[in-house]
Amino acid sequence: MKKSLLGLAIVGVITLIAKALSFSTLANQLHLGALTLAILLGLLVGNTLYPKWQQQAHAGVTFAKGRLLRIGIVLYGFQITFQDIAQVGANAIISDAIMLICTFFITCTLGIYLLKIDKQIVYLTASGCSICGAAAILATEPVVKADSHKVSVAVALIVIFGTISMFLYPILYQYIQGLSDNQFGIYIGSSVHEVAQVYAAGKNINPEVANIAVITKMLRVMMLAPFLIVLSYYLHKQQAQTGEKSPFNMPWFALYFILVAVFNSFQLLPAQLVQFLIQLDGILLMMAMTALGLTTHISAIKQAGIKPLILGFLVFLWLVIGGFVVNFVMQNLFM
């Protein structure tokens, strides 16, 4: 544990700075969330000062992007209750499921077969676009066993196109007819990348749209656990077909995440304690993101080239256009 202290201290200091910056006026104006700031600061330090301490700090940084990440994903379940699901109904659940499945397969088809991008980058990007942005990418990283720079590439796509979404959807609301406020909230929640981006897009329309959008988004978050289990099993089967013999590694943290959400639905803990656990969860995920930034070399991101950006743009078009079509059909089915 002593070997981990320096690395954890470095990660902790950068995380606190990122958290403080997230409250700044500039960060709010640019809609830069704490997770995004954490990886940006991590990248900055990782490519300047960190190499001097890398050997001594390696154990602590590895602990942060491994063990702390898994704990953070488990605690993420305290942000969800089954009461939230009841509030938006079957329409939102089905819309989310359709968008998740279609987005994942469209991203994989475009990325792997059309653009010939590294499979790990594609899987990470697909999970981020399908479910809940950076948090989903972080959760998928241990399943696909991706390098830090590949995680950074996927997160960068979420930041770029999710930010565009925050400003685009309020404009679409003004000019596109055919969706009620309730359904437009489901449209945002089922197609925008990050929870924070969903809230910002909905808030720029009206409180009702924002509320429905966030709840719909949290339903997508709940789908993270079964998604990770299926992906893990699929990758295991793929390895078996290519002759690689390795045991199926159950992503237990994904299952614990669901169990925490179920437990949270019974509201057995005091509200203040739940709020504390949510705050703690945010810090742990930020520390994991910081650690990923520290171990990412800018040169490795450059090597990925322009193809991931093209992939992000094509998937973004699907989310906006395909998402509208799916939600338009769902509204007419549930009228």
- Any idea where the domains of the chain sit in the sequence? 2-333
Looking at residue 103, its pLDDT comes to: 97
Query: What DSSP state is assigned to residue 152?
Result: H
- What residues of the chain score a pLDDT lower than 70? 1-3, 31, 243-250, 335
User: d(Cα 228, Cα 234) in Å, to the nearest integer?
Assistant: 10
DSSP string, 69-95: HHHHHHHGGGG--HHHHHHHHHHHHHH
Token digits of residue 204: 């720029």
Query: Long-range CB contacts (< 8 A, 24+ apart) of 325-330?
Result: 326/95, 326/98, 326/99, 326/102, 326/190, 327/95, 327/179, 327/183, 327/184, 327/186, 327/187, 327/190, 328/178, 328/179, 328/183, 330/91, 330/94, 330/95, 330/183, 330/186
Q: What are phi and psi of 193, to 5 degrees?
A: -65, -65
Looking at residue 248, its pLDDT comes to: 62
User: d(Cα 227, Cα 190) in Å, to the nearest integer?
Assistant: 15
Looking at residue 313, its pLDDT comes to: 96
* Number of Cβ atoms within 10 Å of the Cβ of 299: 9
In sequence order, what are the residues at sequence separation of 6 or more whose Cβ sits closer than 8 angstroms to the Cβ of residue 2? none
User: d(Cα 180, Cα 182) in Å, to the nearest integer?
Assistant: 5
Looking at residue 322, its pLDDT comes to: 96
Q: What are phi and psi of 204, to 5 degrees?
A: -75, -5
Looking at residue 200, its pLDDT comes to: 81
User: d(Cα 69, Cα 11) in Å, to the nearest integer?
Assistant: 13
Place of tokens 């958290």: 19
Q: CA torsion, points 92, 97, 103, 108, in degrees to nearest 10?
A: 170
Query: Long-range CB contacts (< 8 A, 24+ apart) of 258-264?
Result: 258/77, 258/222, 258/225, 258/226, 259/77, 260/74, 260/75, 260/76, 260/77, 260/78, 261/77, 261/78, 261/80, 261/81, 261/82, 261/222, 262/82, 263/77, 264/77, 264/78, 264/80, 264/81
Residue 132 near residue 220, CB atoms below 8 Å: yes
Q: What are phi and psi of 330, to 5 degrees?
A: -65, -40
In sequence order, what are the residues at sequence separation of 6 or more whose Cβ sits closer than 8 angstroms to the Cβ of residue 65? 148, 288, 291, 292, 295
Looking at residue 2, its pLDDT comes to: 61
Closest CA to 192 of 28, 58, 91, 319: 319
Residue 249 near residue 232, CB atoms below 8 Å: yes
Place of tokens 């699901």: 85
Residue 135 near residue 254, CB atoms below 8 Å: no
Rg (CA), the chain: 19
